[in-house]
Chain A
Amino acid sequence: MRVSRTALIGLPILIALPLIVHLLFGGSEKYYLHLLIQILIWSFIYTGWSLMGRFGLTSLGHGAFTGIGAYATVLLWNYAGLTPWLGVPVAMVIAVVVALLVGYPCFHMRITGHYFALLTLALTEFIRLCIVGLRDYTGGSLGTQPRRYGDGVSLYAMQFEPDRVLSYYIVLTLWLVGLYIWWRVDRSMDRFALDAASQDEEAAASVGINVTREKLKVTAISAAMCALGGAIYGQYQMYIGPDTIAGLSVSLNIVFACIAGGLWVMLGPTVGAVFTQVLSEVLRVSMQSSVTLQALFGSAVLALDTLIYGLLLILFIIYMPKGILGALLEKREKTSSAPTPPSRAVLR
């Protein structure tokens, strides 16, 4: 009920957003639309990660999947002339195969918690090294670009970046698909199974849950979503680099944003994306344009925004483990179910 009411109000606003931006920020609407597009793409990726993260499968390997998605699509286009309409599915399949190859031994041998995080971290680094190592094709650490196909928008080459409004609607659709997948998983019996397995694997196995299979299923969905997100990111940015769409920094950003937004609610990863993107943007702009700060720190001011960003995230993890949205919803639930303050008997 709550979700549907939110959707009823929120969806028309989101659809009208380009118009609103146009009316409010006529001169710099391209910049604001760019910000919105970034938020939606990352929201989709974060939502994909949270499908696993919410069940205690803390993967630091999703930077590998976004990287595979972006790079496979672009390389297939640049060197084999394969349209992204086929390249993206191929990239998604590659990501799923990699995910299953890493996931099967992990889940079969009951590797969880810190060990799982470390193992997946190694995967991210492995993919990044592959990208850098194959520099003749991938451009190494400098990154590369999808070959332009004519000027402007092209359906065949899936290049839509020149038209910001079109780009916005494409990624809005993508984001909605992501939420739909989250909702389907949330309502499925698999969710119960994974919830159970995350609390007690042996007990889950004893009631007939094939724990390995359930984990592989959700891993495959999650990897495919992140690969798709990475591919769309590359198509929109028209530039891919090992640091912007692959590698550890991407993995860590995904985890941070999901924790900040809230892992266990549908819109948590989206709130996390809004928060992290807006925060880093505001910090970057305000720090770098401040004359006072520049006088105080000199060129070190360029790194100051990253520092503050990191500090805020640490505070979040400590003081708001359920995330922004999780904490807000909890607060609302408390106030609505208990209109009067808790009685003294409860407090005692």
Chain B
Amino acid sequence: MLELSDIDAGYGGFQALFGISMSVQPGEVVAVIGSNGAGKTTLLRVISGLLPASSGAMSMEGVSLRQTPPHRIIETGIAHVPEGRRLFPRLSVESNLKIGAFIPAARKKFEERLAFVYELFPRLKERRAQLAGTLSGGEQQMCAIARALMSGPKLVLLDEPSMGLAPVIVAQVFDLVRRIRREGYTVLIVEQNVRQVLKIADRAYLLEVGRIKASEPAAELVASDEIRKAYMGI
């Protein structure tokens, strides 16, 4: 579905990603794990087009995405839930969802999809008129995921969905991820909470200072001593 080969990217003179090659198959949940500053967020920003790659090739279902601006990439079926949720705080929940359906193809199906995400996340329906900035952390994450689903994606990029949330809420957020997977979405998730994310992922890539160090089924990574020591504190 999504293919990256030999991607380099960075900010100004600073290179953050070195020769990244990876792929995501339809129906999978793929995790990218790694410590702070490993380049996880940068990787997702490259995929959604917010940061153009400096070299390498990228394609979604065979369509090349090189030098494609974000508003074109989202049309190929990739939706990005950015780090820190990034809702529009002074707009209502429903307006946030409406903006999620901004691309022309999604505007036509707005009503239908709104009903769908409200069914998926009934809490949002209760809070539809509330300003997004006044939601609790967990609800904001729910709203951010729902906003991404409004564009009608096939692949959802999730950047640190557990960031800044209380442990109880973190478990709920991972439950949300399971729920959208069950609905048939493919998920690429970036997390620091390695233990939790490996429970829901099929495969994982380990990113270290901008390079992919390992790529294995999640179960094997969980069993690996190195990973357990370095990222799970066991």
Contact = CB atoms under 8 A, between A and B. Distances in A.
B71 A208 contact: yes
18 contacts: A192-B102, A193-B102, A196-B99, A199-B91, A200-B86, A200-B88, A202-B86, A203-B88, A205-B71, A206-B48, A206-B70, A206-B82, A207-B74, A207-B100, A207-B102, A207-B147, A207-B151, A208-B75
A189 interface: yes
B89 interface: yes
Q: Which 4 A-B pairs have the closest CB atoms?
A: A203-B86, A208-B74, A208-B103, A210-B71
Contacts of A210: 69, 71
Listed residue (B82, B88, B103) with the most chain A CB atoms within 10 angstroms of its CB: B88
Nearest to B81: A206
A283 interface: no
B127 interface: no
B107 interface: yes
B159 to A, nearest CB: 10
A170 interface: no
Contacts, number: 63
Contacts of B203: none
Interface in B58-80: 69-71, 74-75, 79-80
A189 B48 contact: no
Contacts of A206: 48, 50, 70, 74, 80, 82, 86
Interface in B87-144: 87-91, 95, 98-100, 102-103, 106-107
A211 to B, nearest CB: 9
Interface of B: 48, 50, 69-71, 74-75, 79-80, 82, 86-91, 95, 98-100, 102-103, 106-107, 147-148, 151
Interface of A: 189, 192-193, 195-196, 199-200, 202-210
Contacts of B103: 208
A202 B69 CA distance: 13
Given A202-B50, A202-B82, A203-B82, A209 B102 contact: yes
A84 B83 CA distance: 54
B161 to A, nearest CB: 15
A204 B74 CA distance: 12
Contacts of B147: 207
A206 B69 CA distance: 10
Given A196-B91, A199-B89, A210-B69, A205 B100 contact: no
A208 B50 contact: no
B100 to A, nearest CB: 5
A208 B95 CA distance: 15
Nearest to B49: A205
A209 B99 contact: yes
Given A205-B71, A207-B151, A210-B69, A192 B89 contact: no
A204 B95 CA distance: 13
Nearest to A203: B86
A189 B86 contact: no
Contacts of B106: 208
Nearest to B89: A199
Contacts of A207: 74, 79, 99-100, 102, 147-148, 151
Contact of B91 (A189, A195, A209): A195
Nearest to A190: B102
Nearest to B48: A206
Given A204-B99, A207-B79, A210-B69, 13 more contacts: A189-B102, A192-B99, A195-B95, A199-B91, A202-B86, A203-B86, A203-B88, A204-B88, A206-B50, A207-B74, A207-B99, A207-B102, A208-B106
Nearest to B151: A208
Contacts of A195: 88, 91, 95
Listed residue (B89, B99, B100, B151) with the most chain A CB atoms within 10 angstroms of its CB: B99
Nearest to B98: A192
Contacts of B148: 207
B90 A209 contact: no
B15 to A, nearest CB: 21
Contacts of A196: 88, 91, 99
B68 to A, nearest CB: 12
